[in-house]
Amino acid sequence: MPARKPKHNPQPALFADFDTPQVSLAPHALALKPLAEKLATSIRLGTSSWTFPSWENLVYDRKHTADTLVLEGLAAYATHPLFRSVGLDRTFYRPMSAEDLAALAARVPSHFRFLVKAHGEVTRPPQPGESNSKFLDIAWTRDQILAPAAQGLAQKLGVILFQFPPMDLRPANFSGGIDAFLDQLANFLASLPPTLPCAVEIRNRELLSNQHRSRYTTALRQAGVEHCYTGHPTMPTIGTQLDLIPPQQASSPAPLACRWLLHPTQRYQEAKDRYFPFQELKDEDPGTRAEITKLAAAAQSLSRDILIIANNKAEGSAPLTLEHLAMQILKHL
């Protein structure tokens, strides 16, 4: 069963040969320049996508269609004073060619970085009675994910993220159980090119338990791969993750990575319905904001870059979430 594609892909087909309306930043976004100039350049804030028409007057000058924003929005988004990175979700549903990725890279300045999600079939274990030949297949991953990202994005590649879904790792469902999964993960990560920045995101909190955490972190660190600190109800808080897996001096080119995805009281569809059109913070989460600030401080103390990606479903509006986070960081750094 292939990775499920959402009803609306926020990053559909890339570029066409016809003219599209010019997209510009809203005055609200431009007014954030003094705030952004105070923030360390190693702290790269960004959103999960750039293609939300409802961000009119918040990010973009007026309402544009999603297709227009795919074609023209990235160049405007990348000039937003606070946004020095963006998540690339499209690659989770279908790999992108080096040429298409290079077209994206050409639209952003040299300091900008992409968080590229690896294709979902690589991280989705097969269910009983089915097969998934791509699951942790290093040869396919090198050919379809790693090489295009490295060639197409070059120095604008921030990190390649391997996002694992919530998994039933009981032996009855996953042959060999958690121990077998950790063995497979360690072998896969050890085969990744050491020169590429990679991170792992999990949704199974038991992997951070006292029983299994050492094997998980050892697999990451021996491969020079980072743990992505994830704000999601399936996981311990980002603060707890930070305590359990404190960042270390860089042993690889990977920056630290953090994704603030979903408010702890919400489910995905509930949050989407509650927060649309993503123009205001409906459920502020000062606890997570403080924890991410602490993570940013840890990155600064280690002289490491960090990518912090916010989703609309974290508090109601990713751009506003990042504005408030930037102010919080400046108060404490």
Task: Give pLDDT tens digits for 172-192.
Answer: 889 899 999 999 999 999 999
Burial of 322 (0-12, 13-18, 19+ CB in 10 A): buried
Q: Output the pTM of the full model.
A: 0.93
Question: Cα 323 to the chain's mean position, in Å?
Answer: 18
Residues 11, 49 contacting (CB under 8 angstroms)? yes
Provide the H-helix boundaries in 66-224. 66-68, 74-77, 90-93, 98-105, 138-141, 147-153, 177-190, 213-223
- Give the residue from 92, 245, 123 showing the smallest Cα distance to 188: 123
pLDDT by residue (tens digit) across 295-313?
999 999 999 999 999 999 9
SS3 at position 194: coil
Give the number of other Cβ atoms within 10 Å of residue 41's Cβ.
10
45 and 82 Cβ atoms separated by less than 8 Å: yes
Query: Is the previous residue joined to 277 through a cis bond, with omega within 30 degrees of 0?
Result: yes
Look at residue 8 and tell me whether its pLDDT is greater than 60: no
The CA-based angle 255-261-267, given to 5 degrees, is: 155
Residues 274-294: what's their mean pLDDT?
A: 98
The token pair at 110 is 């040299």
pLDDT in tens, 232-253: 999 999 999 999 999 988 766 6
**231 pLDDT more than 80:** yes
Q: Write the pLDDT tens digit of every residue in 86-129.
A: 999 999 999 999 999 999 999 999 999 999 999 999 999 998 77
Is residue 263 within 8 Å of 312, Cβ to Cβ? no
Q: Across the chain, how many H-helices and E-strands are there?
A: 15, 8
Neighbours of 280 (CB within 10 A): 11
Residue type, 181: F
Beta bridge partners of 131: none
The CATH code belonging to domain 27-332 is 3.20.20.410
**For residue 264, is pLDDT > 50?**
yes
Alpha carbon distance 221, 218 (integer Å): 5
Residue 116, phi then psi, degrees to nearest 5:
-105, 120
Domain residues of the chain, as ranges?
A: 27-332
- Residue 325 near residue 177, CB atoms below 8 Å: no
Q: Are 53 and 70 in contact (CB under 8 A)?
A: no
| Cβ neighbourhood burial of 324 (10 Å; 0-12, 13-18, 19+) | middle
State how far the alpha carbon of 167 is from the alpha carbons of 14, 171, 268, 320, in Å.
32, 12, 17, 32
18 falls in which pLDDT band (50, 70, 90)?
very low
